[in-house]
């Protein structure tokens, strides 16, 4: 069986369920990571004491990394390219 034939095969119900589960997980984790990035970039009054003991530049770098990875996770969930490489 050639690779082109494999790509044209319809997905089974199990594979569709796995795709649905992974898509929801990617959307959820992406939103969570974006919120974590916002939390570190813009700390609220109650958490400023904990965050201020670390280097502010590294905290901002970490927040940007969280945002970028969160956007990537949302994009990966949107693409749904799990079984087709």
Q: Please write the tens of the pLDDT for every residue from 42-82.
A: 988 888 888 889 998 999 999 999 999 999 999 999 988 77
pLDDT tens track for 16-39: 888 889 999 999 999 999 999 999
How many domains is the chain built from?
1
What is the model's pLDDT at position 70?
97
What is the model's pLDDT at position 50?
86
Given pLDDT bands bounded at 50, 70 and 90, which one contains residue 84?
Answer: low
Domain that holds residue 26: 13-79
25 occurs within a structural domain: yes
3 occurs within a structural domain: no
85 occurs within a structural domain: no
8 occurs within a structural domain: no
56 occurs within a structural domain: yes
81, exposed or middle or buried, with CB in 10 Å at 0-12, 13-18, 19+? exposed
């Amino acid at each position: 069986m050639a690779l082109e034939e494999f790509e044209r095969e319809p997905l089974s119900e199990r594979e569709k369920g796995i795709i649905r589960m992974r898509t929801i997980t990617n959307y959820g984790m992406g939103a969570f990571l974006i919120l974590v990035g916002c939390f570190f970039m813009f700390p609220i009054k109650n958490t400023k004491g904990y965050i201020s003991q670390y280097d502010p530049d590294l905290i901002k770098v970490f927040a940007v990394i969280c945002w970028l990875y969160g956007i990537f996770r949302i994009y990966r969930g949107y693409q749904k390219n799990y079984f087709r490489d």
